[in-house]
């Protein structure tokens, strides 16, 4: 697979992920939340806080997809191992770590405010683990891409 086709595949995956995230966060969750609030009126007061929480949780995900798009564009320009891509991967790592921490803290706060169920809080640990894994993977990739960019720059100077 050459650079252009790899870049195209990565861009298609990024767009598909963005569409899926948009559908989940801005269509499925609000509809499911409204139906849950209608079915259980005693939990109607939880709808708006959870909706705001989920929208705030989604923002770093979309920002990470934006940086993923930039990485894919650099790969298409045959600039895979660059300091710019290392910086983007580092930013994605920070976004994933911060989002995981926010998601965990938000679930704990909503649990203590009696706006969540302990089962939901326990299930959310899977999302926190996934975000932490993405954080670690992107940090490692950032380090490796930075080392490769340094080797590439060193080799470009030799004849």
pLDDT at 159: 60
pLDDT at 156: 78
Distance separating alpha carbons of residues 78 and 119, to the nearest angstrom: 47
Low-confidence stretches of the chain (pLDDT beneath 50): none
- C-alpha closest to that of 62 among 7, 29, 16, 22: 22
pLDDT at 153: 87
Q: What is the pLDDT of residues 90-113, one digit of tens each?
A: 999 999 999 999 999 999 999 999
pLDDT at 1: 76
pTM metric for this prediction: 0.91
């Amino acid at each position: 697979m050459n650079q252009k086709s790899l870049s195209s595949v990565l861009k298609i995956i990024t767009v598909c992920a963005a569409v899926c995230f948009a559908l989940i966060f801005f269509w499925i969750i609000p509809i499911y939340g409204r139906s849950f609030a209608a079915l259980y009126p005693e939990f109607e007061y939880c709808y708006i806080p959870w909706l705001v929480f989920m929208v705030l949780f989604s923002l770093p995900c979309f920002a990470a997809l934006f940086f993923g798009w930039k990485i894919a564009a650099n790969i298409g320009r045959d600039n895979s191992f660059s300091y710019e891509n290392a910086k983007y991967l580092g930013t994605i790592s920070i976004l994933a770590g911060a989002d995981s921490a926010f998601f965990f803290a938000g679930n704990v706060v909503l649990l203590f405010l009696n706006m969540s169920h302990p089962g939901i809080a326990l299930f959310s640990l899977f999302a926190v683990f996934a975000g932490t894994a993405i954080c670690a993977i992107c940090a490692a990739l950032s380090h490796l891409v930075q080392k490769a960019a340094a080797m590439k720059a060193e080799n470009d100077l030799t004849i």
